[in-house]
């Protein structure tokens, strides 16, 4: 249904561009005084079906959500024209930026800084099965600081089925691919050709293919004739240009392979040295007022508590409170121990068997370690008092320049980090292949898991010796130790490189969790799937009805693939959160009930007794306060279930 009179929400400021498909207006959105771009596309000559197709295409484009893609706000029909409201990029186009350089070549670092952002954006577009079909420097926009790149103008983009190819010859002539010149079908490889043209233009400040007329231009494109770029640039960059501009589409590397090249990996890691890091570091100086962040991972417990700001009183000198406090217990610590802090705010923490790590608000990784042997030692003078040696010392991870960490997870002797660009990095012990680098070598510094560079990862979870990772497209990957079926791959084999995990039909992973020898997934509709060891029914895989004891044939010892929970009531109720321990688990439903299940030898299920209870207890226990996620303690024992009512 076409919307009418929507332009009343906007105030037109000026026309900023005209093209074959319409007029581009800079407008002020009255509701929030924000500058936006409105693209006006005449549709008077369109049929009803063409109008509907155009509107449907706009709806799909609005689903694109990436920091390097111009954001789409809405579309509507006004004055016989399709109006598309989108994000305004005040830094102009990349073409204008290049033109202002005259003959002053860009530094290779600057070229790659722009290129990898375009690369990330195009990969995001292609994962949605959309061809841009008009990628060029005029359609690549810059922020006001000319540091952030955003691709736009999807006016002639083509939405593809997974196997389809587009035939229509469209796009700017200087950037069209050889297969388009021949009238052959094409797919994403034509966008990769255009990407090569953009990279060439960044390196030479001129177009790869130009001619006085269209036939001469087509001849140049068909022959692949272009002047070589300056030898001041590295052989790797020059070779990348040649590979992107290969005449044969099959010889052009896919985007995932381009990302995995060392040339691009370095640029990806350095991306946030210049983009956003200054602003984020400034934010460290302010005191937050948000709730505590729930800790993650198994092993010894670590909790981060953000300190609230102190109300301002009369002007007086005072020592500011710490930006955050972090406590740890377990693993030999019988009571919570406040860990030494650097002058920073920690927003997320994780702990493994031997290591403790946290992420600061500015995206730095902080580690807490046992002090070196002999620290503070030496011969004491007579009468001197022995100073107690600190149990932990804190330090920032060395060599993290240009990398912004978003989340950290710890396993036994290894750590996995997720950057804000969706890249997973691991370090520590390489036993069991837990680092995902295709080997069993130990690595002391965070290193990119190269097999996942073609994906935008949104979550990583570590078990004792295995890892699960989830992408924005709900693709699930697993690696590490595989006995018991904990990887969900249908076998007990271990893998030192990420393997894509098949999902049962009709399920989409929303969150992944790792136990010591098991794994669990929360799906989009709020169901849970589990795999690995089900000892003590700690995964809820036994086919157990309320108030009944499962028969032997209803008990599941282990699951090699992700399997829906079979124990009532968790096989029916929608789940909000789940967490896994060594021998027991907990789940919170959307209705506010908390169910604990598995071993209760040490009273870890929250019941008043520790004896074995084989059936599910429907009676409500005394209410317990609940804040954040439930964390499990290591334990062994018998099987029991209990439901708790949660207070707000």
pLDDT higher than threshold 70 for residue 56: no
pLDDT at 265: 86
Nearby residues of 555 by Cβ (< 8 Å), 6 or more positions away: 537, 542
Tell me the CA distances in angstroms from 127 to 64, 121, 168, 216, 588, one per residue in order. Answer: 10, 10, 21, 35, 33
Q: What architecture (CATH level 2) is domain 94-267?
A: Orthogonal Bundle (1.10)
pLDDT at 492: 96
Greatest mean pLDDT range, 22-31, 159-168, 373-382:
22-31
pLDDT digits (tens, 9 = 90+) for 257-288: 998 888 888 888 877 544 543 333 223 333 33
Domain 6-87 -> CATH class: alpha beta
DSSP 8-state secondary structure symbol assigned to residue 231 = T
Residue in the block written with tokens 């010894």:
300
Task: State the average pLDDT for the chain.
Answer: 77
pLDDT digits (tens, 9 = 90+) for 545-580: 765 666 666 789 999 999 999 888 888 889 999 999
pLDDT higher than threshold 80 for residue 317: no
Give yes or no for a contact between 418 and 403, defined as CB atoms under 8 angstroms apart. Answer: no
pLDDT higher than threshold 70 for residue 46: no
pLDDT at 639: 34
pLDDT, mean of residues 596-612:
73
pLDDT digits (tens, 9 = 90+) for 88-146: 988 888 999 998 888 889 999 999 999 999 999 999 888 887 777 778 898 899 988 88
pLDDT at 219: 86
Ordered strands of the 575-580 beta sheet: 575-580, 584-589, 593-599, 639-647, 624-625
Residue in the block written with tokens 């604990």:
596
- Which of 279-288, 464-473, 499-508 is the least confident region? 279-288
Nearby residues of 447 by Cβ (< 8 Å), 6 or more positions away: 425, 426, 427, 435, 437
Catalytically active residues are 134
pLDDT at 393: 87
DSSP 8-state secondary structure symbol assigned to residue 571 = T
Considering only residues 43 and 499, tell me which one the structure prediction assigns the higher pLDDT. Answer: 499
Give yes or no for a contact between 470 and 457, defined as CB atoms under 8 angstroms apart. Answer: yes
pLDDT at 295: 33
Q: Parallel, antiparallel, or unpaired: how do β-strands 22-29 and 34-42 relate?
A: antiparallel
- Omega into 183 within 30° of 0, i.e. cis? no
Q: What is the CA radius of gyration of the chain?
A: 29
Give yes or no for a contact between 145 and 121, defined as CB atoms under 8 angstroms apart. Answer: no
Q: What percentage of the chain exceeds 70 in pLDDT?
A: 74
pLDDT at 51: 62
Give yes or no for a contact between 36 and 73, defined as CB atoms under 8 angstroms apart. Answer: yes
Which strand (E) or helix (H) includes residue 514? strand 509-514
Give yes or no for a contact between 239 and 190, defined as CB atoms under 8 angstroms apart. Answer: no
pLDDT at 120: 92
pLDDT digits (tens, 9 = 90+) for 229-241: 999 999 999 999 9
Report the distance separating Cα 553 and Cα 478, nearest Å.
Answer: 29
CA atoms within 13 Å, Cβ hemisphere of 219: 6
pLDDT digits (tens, 9 = 90+) for 183-199: 776 678 888 999 999 99
Q: What are phi and psi of 599, to 5 degrees?
A: -70, 145
Task: Enumerate the CATH 3.30.200.20 domain ranges in the chain, comma separated.
Answer: 6-87
Task: Enumerate the CATH 1.10.510.10 domain ranges in the chain, comma separated.
Answer: 94-267
pLDDT, mean of residues 381-391:
52
Nearby residues of 246 by Cβ (< 8 Å), 6 or more positions away: 224, 252
Buried b / exposed e over 444-467, threshold 16 CB at 10 Å, is: eebbbbbbbbbbbbbbbbbbbbbb
- Mapping DSSP to helix (H, G, I), strand (E, B) and coil, where does residue 371 land? coil
With both helix axes pointing from N to C terminus, report the angle between 188-204 and 108-127 in degrees, rounded to the nearest 10.
170
Report the distance separating Cα 70 and Cα 625, nearest Å.
Answer: 44
Could you write out the DSSP letters of every residue in 181-197? HTT--B-HHHHHHHHHH
pLDDT digits (tens, 9 = 90+) for 403-422: 889 999 999 999 999 998 88
The pLDDT-based confidence of 490 (bands split at 50, 70, 90) is very high
Which strand (E) or helix (H) includes residue 40? strand 34-42
pLDDT at 155: 55
- Mapping DSSP to helix (H, G, I), strand (E, B) and coil, where does residue 165 land? coil
Straight-line distance from the first to the last Cα atom of the chain, in angstroms, rounded to the nearest whole number: 42
pLDDT at 232: 92
Greatest mean pLDDT range, 257-271, 294-308, 361-375, 457-471:
457-471
Residue closest to 37 by CA, chosen among 182, 183, 154: 154
- Which of 37-41, 151-155, 510-514, 613-617 is the least confident region? 613-617
């Amino acid at each position: 249904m076409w919307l009418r009179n929507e332009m009343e929400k906007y105030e037109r400021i000026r026309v900023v561009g005209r093209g074959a498909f319409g007029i581009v207006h800079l407008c002020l959105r009255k509701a929030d005084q924000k500058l936006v771009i409105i693209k006006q596309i005449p549709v008077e000559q369109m049929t009803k079906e063409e109008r509907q197709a155009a509107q449907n295409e706009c709806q799909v484009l609005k689903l694109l959500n990436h920091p390097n893609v111009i954001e789409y706000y809405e579309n509507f029909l006004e004055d016989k024209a399709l109006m598309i409201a989108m994000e305004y990029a005040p830094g102009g186009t990349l073409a204008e930026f290049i033109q202002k350089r005259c003959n002053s070549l860009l530094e290779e670092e600057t070229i790659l800084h722009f290129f990898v952002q375009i690369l990330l954006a195009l990969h995001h577009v292609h994962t949605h099965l959309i061809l841009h079909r008009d990628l060029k420097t005029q359609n690549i926009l810059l922020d006001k600081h000319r540091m952030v790149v955003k691709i736009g103008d999807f006016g002639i983009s083509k939405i593809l089925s997974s196997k389809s190819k587009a035939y229509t010859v469209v796009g700017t002539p200087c950037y069209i691919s050889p297969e388009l010149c021949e009238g052959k079908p094409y797919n994403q490889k034509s966008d990769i050709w255009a990407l090569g043209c953009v990279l060439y233009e960044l390196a030479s400040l001129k177009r790869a293919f130009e001619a006085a007329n269209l036939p001469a231009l087509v001849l140049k494109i068909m022959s692949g004739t272009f002047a070589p770029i300056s030898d001041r640039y590295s052989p790797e960059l020059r070779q990348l240009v040649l590979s992107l501009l290969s005449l044969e589409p099959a010889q052009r590397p896919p985007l995932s392979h381009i990302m995995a090249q060392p040339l691009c990996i370095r640029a990806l890691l350095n991306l946030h040295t210049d983009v956003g890091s200054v602003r984020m570091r400034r934010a460290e100086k302010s005191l937050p007022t948000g709730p505590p962040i729930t800790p993650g991972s198994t092993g010894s417990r670590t909790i981060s508590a953000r300190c609230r700001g102190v109300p301002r009183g009369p002007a007086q000198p005072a020592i500011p409170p710490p930006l955050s406090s972090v406590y740890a217990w377990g693993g030999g610590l019988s009571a919570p121990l406040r860990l030494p802090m650097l002058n920073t705010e920690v927003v997320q923490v994780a702990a493994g068997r031997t290591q403790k790590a946290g992420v600061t608000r500015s995206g730095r990784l902080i580690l807490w370690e046992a002090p070196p042997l002999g620290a503070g030692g030496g011969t004491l003078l007579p009468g001197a008092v022995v100073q107690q040696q600190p149990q932990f010392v804190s330090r920032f991870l060395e060599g993290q320049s240009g990398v912004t960490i978003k989340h950290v997870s710890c396993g036994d002797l290894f750590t996995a980090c997720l950057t804000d660009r969706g890249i997973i990095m691991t370090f520590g012990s390489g036993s069991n292949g837990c680092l995902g680098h295709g080997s069993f070598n130990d690595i002391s510094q965070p290193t990119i898991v190269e097999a996942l560079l073609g994906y935008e990862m949104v979550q990583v979870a570590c078990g004792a010796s295995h890892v699960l990772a989830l992408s924005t497209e709900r693709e699930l990957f697993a690696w590490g130790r595989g006995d018991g079926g904990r990887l969900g791959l249908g076998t007990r084999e271990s893998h030192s490189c990420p393997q894509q995990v098949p999902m049962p039909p009709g399920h989409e992973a929303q969150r992944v969790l790792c136990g010591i020898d098991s794994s669990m997934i929360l799906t989009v509709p709020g169901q849970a799937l589990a795999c690995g060891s089900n000892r003590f029914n700690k995964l809820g895989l036994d086919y157990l009805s309320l108030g009944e004891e499962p028969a032997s044939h209803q008990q599941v010892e282990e699951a090699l693939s992700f399997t829906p929970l079979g124990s009532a009531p968790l096989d029916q109720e929608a789940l909000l959160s789940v967490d896994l321990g060594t021998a027991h688990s907990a789940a919170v439903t959307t209705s506010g009930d908390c169910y604990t299940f598995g071993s209760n030898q040490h009273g870890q299920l929250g019941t008043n007794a520790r004896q074995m209870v084989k059936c599910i207890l429907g009676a409500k226990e005394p209410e317990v306060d609940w804040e954040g996620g439930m964390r499990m303690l290591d334990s062994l024992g018998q099987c029991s279930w209990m439901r708790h009512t949660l207070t707000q």
